[in-house]
């Protein structure tokens, strides 16, 4: 495995992902992780990420010099390279002409890192500082017209530095350069494959859970579904899944979950029909936060009741992802909405957590899901919020309004899928506002609900852009919704990005 030390650069997570794309397991750790802890992981290589600071700034992150004596190859990227230079006796300073964006790099003297790549190549740079003098024993292996030391190395000690971003796609031979580090310098084997990921995860779960019983709350989303399938593979019928149908799901969704798990995978599944219970509690409630709170609390209550019937359960399976692990350790974002998920459950229930996806990025979860033979519809399902349609119905949630939204949403999904847009969009859905507008159908006046189309592209839901859907697709969606969904006489399109809008309406 490879340890990537995060010095605060915007691409640190990307480095970890690219290493995994090369089929080598990698972990992203804060730059000040104690050396002992790094050593305990027994990495085959270490990568120091870029960072926003200048090495000479007061309080700028540093690196323990002993890191370079671990006998483990180290690749410093940008700030990481400068730290390496500074720590080992080189010199760092401001460059005359700052370089941002594409630069033309000239390879000099056949560096190991550049092996198999051309003498001239485009790289992505962003720096105000650069290495002015390489540390003793280091060879300069690349330059640009304005920066004489753009890469250096000391292969006998396994030390390499680049003043550009190999992890960014704009760097033409970035992946080759990373692979040279991984496979030539570190001697890694490309064995982080879907089959191995599954085998390893299954073994780990077996070790943790042993012969005990575990339970899992299924939502229908790809994360909880994949976690459940993995644990099922590890402990078989000792896992019971609880699927709480809160009645806020989309058309046919509940049936699809039951079909995929109980019938196809043969997994013990408790299907709780709690639709009325949730509707009763939501009656007359219009405030978004109140709705979120009610759905969250009621979900925990129902789940607890059902779980209580499963005797001697000791473990709770959750679909926590690697990005959640990284974020909970680093980011302290302001709370915009109280998110509902099943976190908080173990405290009230006194269960130990099993999190088989803790090491995986979202795209890796999809690969694992496919490897486990899960149906394509589940593997590629767009994210769906825990409170479901309750936060896409503005105002009161009633059976009648749920029906309208469900029908409109089904039409929208159908057209988006047929047009080949489903996977390209982060999310696409219908929203039901709490207003009526006047229309004319046949010769009669109508006074009915509008439906709002929301479709966004995004990488991580932190920011999002409204999707530029083709006009003819929008036209088909609009015509079909108005013709096929009673109670709707108008269709509008939401063209707000995030920020300033959020993805969901409530
Ligand atoms: P917003 O609306 O805050 O949503 O831009 C960001 C992403 O989170 C999803 N979302 C939720 N997911 N429980 C969830 O599991 C929730 O309570 C919840 N609220 C929003 C939303 O669909 C989008 O992908």
Q: What is the CATH number of the domain that holds 266?
A: 3.40.50.620
**pLDDT tens readout for residues 224-257:** 999 999 999 999 999 999 999 999 999 999 999 9
- Rounded average pLDDT over 169-186: 97
Same domain, 243 and 362: yes
- State yes or no: 128 annotated in a binding site: no
Q: Which residue has the least CA distance to atom 22 on ligand 1?
A: 385
- State yes or no: 444 annotated in a binding site: no
384 lies in some domain: no
CB of 144 sitting under 6 A from ligand 1: no
392 lies in some domain: no
62 lies in some domain: yes
Distance 469 CA to ligand 1 centre (A): 22
34 lies in some domain: yes
Q: Which residues contact 208 (CB under 8 A, 6 or more apart)?
A: 315, 354
Look up 165 and say whether it is catalytic.
yes
Distance 286 CA to ligand 1 centre (A): 18
Same domain, 345 and 286: yes
Domain that holds residue 49: 2-185
Per-residue tokens: 232: 């099922």
Same domain, 181 and 202: no
Same domain, 356 and 442: no
Q: What is the CATH number of the domain that holds 437?
A: 3.30.300.10
Same domain, 174 and 72: yes
Counted domains in the chain: 3
Describe the chain by its helix, strand, coil percentages, rounded to 5. 35, 25, 40
- Rounded average pLDDT over 173-186: 98
CB 449 within 8 A of CB 433: yes
- At 96 the pLDDT is 73
Distance 89 CA to ligand 1 centre (A): 49
CB of 417 sitting under 6 A from ligand 1: no
**pLDDT tens readout for residues 384-394:** 999 999 999 99
Same domain, 174 and 296: no
Same domain, 131 and 71: yes
Same domain, 365 and 487: no
Same domain, 136 and 204: no
Same domain, 325 and 431: no
- Rounded average pLDDT over 2-16: 92
21 lies in some domain: yes
CB of 385 sitting under 6 A from ligand 1: yes
Q: What is the CATH number of the domain that holds 100?
A: 3.40.50.880
Which of ligand 1's atoms lies nearest the C-alpha of 426? 24
Could you give the CA distance from residue 256 to residue 443 in angstroms, rounded to a whole number?
41
CB 292 within 8 A of CB 341: no
CB of 504 sitting under 6 A from ligand 1: yes
CB of 117 sitting under 6 A from ligand 1: no
CB of 293 sitting under 6 A from ligand 1: no
242 lies in some domain: yes
CB 342 within 8 A of CB 297: no
pLDDT at 66 over 80: yes
Q: Which of 351, 379, 407 is the last residue of a domain?
A: 379
Could you give the CA distance from residue 214 to residue 240 in angstroms, rounded to a whole number?
6
- At 330 the pLDDT is 47
390 lies in some domain: no
Q: Which of 352, 379, 406 is the last residue of a domain?
A: 379
User: Which of the four pLDDT bands, split at 50, 70 and 90, describes residue 460?
Assistant: confident
Q: Which of 151, 166, 185 is the last residue of a domain?
A: 185
Distance 422 CA to ligand 1 centre (A): 18
Distance 504 CA to ligand 1 centre (A): 7
31 lies in some domain: yes
- State yes or no: 146 annotated in a binding site: no
Look up 167 and say whether it is catalytic.
yes
* Of 167, 253, 415, 506, catalytic: 167
**pLDDT tens readout for residues 334-349:** 455 555 555 456 566 7
Same domain, 64 and 12: yes
Same domain, 180 and 203: no
User: Which of the four pLDDT bands, split at 50, 70 and 90, describes residue 327?
Assistant: low
Per-residue tokens: 341: 């998920």
């Amino acid at each position: 495995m490879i340890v990537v030390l995060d010095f605060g650069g915007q691409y640190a997570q990307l480095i970890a992902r690219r290493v995994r794309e090369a089929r080598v397991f990698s972990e992203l750790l804060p730059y000040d992780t104690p050396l002992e802890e790094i050593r305990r992981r027994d990495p085959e290589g270490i990568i120091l990420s870029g960072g926003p600071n200048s090495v000479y700034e007061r309080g700028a992150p540093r690196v323990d010099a002993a890191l370079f004596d671990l006998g483990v190859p180290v690749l410093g990227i940008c700030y990481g390279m400068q730290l390496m230079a500074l720590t080992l006796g080189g010199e760092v300073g401001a460059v005359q002409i700052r370089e941002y964006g594409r630069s033309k790099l000239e390879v000099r003297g056949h560096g190991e890192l550049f092996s198999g790549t051309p003498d001239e190549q485009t790289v992505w740079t962003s720096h105000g500082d650069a290495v002015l003098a390489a540390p003793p024993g280091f060879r300069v292996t690349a330059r640009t017209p304005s920066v004489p030391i753009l890469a250096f190395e000391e292969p006998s000690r396994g030390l390499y530095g680049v003043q550009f971003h190999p992890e960014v796609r704009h760097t033409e031979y970035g992946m080759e350069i990373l692979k040279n580090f991984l496979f030539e310098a570190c001697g890694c084997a490309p064995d982080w494959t879907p089959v191995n990921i599954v085998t390893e995860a299954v073994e780990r779960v077996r070790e943790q859970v042993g012969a005990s019983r575990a339970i899992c709350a299924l939502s229908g989303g790809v994360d909880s579904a994949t976690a459940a399938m993995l644990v099922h593979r590890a402990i078989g019928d000792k896992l019971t899944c609880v699927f709480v149908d809160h009645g806020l799901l989309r058309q046919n969704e509940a049936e699809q979950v039951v079909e995929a798990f109980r019938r196809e995978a043969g997994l013990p599944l408790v299907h709780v029909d709690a639709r009325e219970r949730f509707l009763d509690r939501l009656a007359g409630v219009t405030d978004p936060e109140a709705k979120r709170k009610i759905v969250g609390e009621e979900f925990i209550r129902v789940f607890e009741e059902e779980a209580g019937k499963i005797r001697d359960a000791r473990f709770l399976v959750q679909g926590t992802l690697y990005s959640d692990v990284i974020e909970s350790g680093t980011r302290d974002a302001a709370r915009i909405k109280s998110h509902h998920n099943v976190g908080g459950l173990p405290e009230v229930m006194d269960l130990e957590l099993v999190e088989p996806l803790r090491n995986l990025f979202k795209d890796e979860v999809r690969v694992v899901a496919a490897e486990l033979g899960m149906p394509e519809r589940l593997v590629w399902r767009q994210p769906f919020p825990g409170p479901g349609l309750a936060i896409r119905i503005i105002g009161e949630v009633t059976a009648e309004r749920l029906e309208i939204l469900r029908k409109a949403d089904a039409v929208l999904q159908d057209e988006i899928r047929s047009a080949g847009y489903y996977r390209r969009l982060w999310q696409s859905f219908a929203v039901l506002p709490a207003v009526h507008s006047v229309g004319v159908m046949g010769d009669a006046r109508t006074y009915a609900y509008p439906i709002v189309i929301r479709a966004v592209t995004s990488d991580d839901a932190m920011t999002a852009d409204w999707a530029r859907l083709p006009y003819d697709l929008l036209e088909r969606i609009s015509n079909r919704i108005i013709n096929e969904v009673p109670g709707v006489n108008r269709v509008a399109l939401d063209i707000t990005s995030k920020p300033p809008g959020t993805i969901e309406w409530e």
